[in-house]
């Protein structure tokens, strides 16, 4: 690409418009009846207004972590009828991990949808594995509340 056709560094840093939430809903396989739940599930504490932690995804993340654990435990219980509690626990721990949740969020392309504060945006928060894992769990919590 020649110097004349390459966008300026300022243009490359300019904020890109967020894709619509319908794009994310399609990827996760759920259309929200209450889309405010999805918006909340994508709001990092750095972006939450005066509500701080309550206005962020943290409560949904808490719920989503438990929903994920229960769903995987149920699947393992059915899939391995001869396994003892220790074996089931090891399998559960191997599946329900921060890295796995971050990978799911990456597959869903959650990053562009995240509502982050300026500091998190500057530090690459849309690719931060911890934030992506937390967002994955919060989305699961939001889907649970929206659909049961």
The set of catalytic residues is 65, 137
Please check whether residue 115 is in contact with residue 43, taking contact to mean a CB–CB distance below 8 angstroms: yes
Neighbours of 78 (CB within 10 A): 8
Please check whether residue 28 is in contact with residue 144, taking contact to mean a CB–CB distance below 8 angstroms: no
Q: What is the DSSP string of 56-113?
A: STHHHHHHHHHHHHHHHHHHHHHH-TT--HHHHHHHHHHHS-HHHHHHHHHHHT-GGG
Helix (H, G, I), strand (E, B) or coil at 14: coil
């Amino acid at each position: 690409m020649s110097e004349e056709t390459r966008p300026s560094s300022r243009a490359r840093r300019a904020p890109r418009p967020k894709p619509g939430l319908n794009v994310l809903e399609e990827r996760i396989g759920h259309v929200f009846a209450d889309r405010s739940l999805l918006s909340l599930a994508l709001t990092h504490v750095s972006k939450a207004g005066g509500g701080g932690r309550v206005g962020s995804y943290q409560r949904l993340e808490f719920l989503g972590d438990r929903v994920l654990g229960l769903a995987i435990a149920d699947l393992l219980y059915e899939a391995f009828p001869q396994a003892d509690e220790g074996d089931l626990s090891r399998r559960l721990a191997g599946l329900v991990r921060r890295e796995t949740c971050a990978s799911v969020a990456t597959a869903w392309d959650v990053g562009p949808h995240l509502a982050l504060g300026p500091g998190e945006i500057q530090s690459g928060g849309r690719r931060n594995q911890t934030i992506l894992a937390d967002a994955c769990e919060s989305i699961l919590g939001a889907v649970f509340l929206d659909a049961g």
